[in-house]
Structure 1
Amino acid sequence: MFGFEDMWKFLFSFLLVFPLVVIIHQSGHLFFAKLCGCNVEIQIGIGKRLCKIGPFYIGKLYFFDGWITYKGLHQEKNGKVKRILVYLGGSIFNVTTIILVNSFILQGILSPNIMLYQFVYFSVYYVFFSLFPAEYTNGCPTDGQAVLKMIFNRRFEKDPIN
């Protein structure tokens, strides 16, 4: 049962663990986008932009999701496979960190604790919803929907890759 004594765990997870998962996810997109030679802008959180760190913009509500804008990744120039890798890059990085954390626990390098559990939980959650094929209300596709549209040669209402 969730009690008052659990609030610190919730706040820690919501304000630190979840944003870390978002940063790892967006870094995966960044990695593959840079590999394909495009310019990237990443927004972590929503609301007024507080600061910029490299390609990352941090929003006032930094713990509330994130997104990425790609420039210079054209289909005819880079091909479908590279675009698909860019879309899947975030989930690839999240799954990699899940495997690493579990491997380190199994090898005794890390000891299992609630924070690592929550990190893996939020990572699985983020991968699931980013790969779930759907479109947001603003017309932008999830990563999974973008990959399906790439495979079946369909256009996006709003293409996050310019």
Structure 2
Amino acid sequence: MFLENDHQPACSIAFEAEPAERNVMRRPPRSPQEPLFGRQVILLSLLQGTLLLLTTLIVLGYALHQGAAEEEARALAFSTLVIGNIGLILVNRSWQLNIFSSLKNRNSALWWVVGGAFSFLLLTLYLPLLREIFHFAPLTPYQLALSFAAGLCSVLWFELFKLVRRH
């Protein structure tokens, strides 16, 4: 429920406030017969989501294999998923620019969304009341770094895709 209540409005708010890309008026118009979401967009979206899911499951399996308690493994997987979702928002801001170039575009709503999601993640991990509600255990700095690395790696492949597509 947290993910649904966090991710959907986050995308709406962040992308709604996103400035148009510089070359948007130089692109050819979309054919009226072409669906709003073409095959490539749908396939890339499915691939992004599937890779994030697989990464999350790998992290969960790794944690359980290492002997982590269920609450600890659950918190680690959840953190990976939330960080991956934040990463998806950031890499999908532009399909033309790389993530670093797109970060130069001002979008204060984006930073409120990212900051809010990250803050709520930390609250669910380290505030005892929320931790109990979510059945989480607090993560060590190493585990938090692992979830960051895994979550971001699961979406950064898209940056390579954009680079190859541009050239």
Normalised by the length of structure 1, the TM-score is: 0.34
Normalised by the length of structure 2, the TM-score is: 0.33
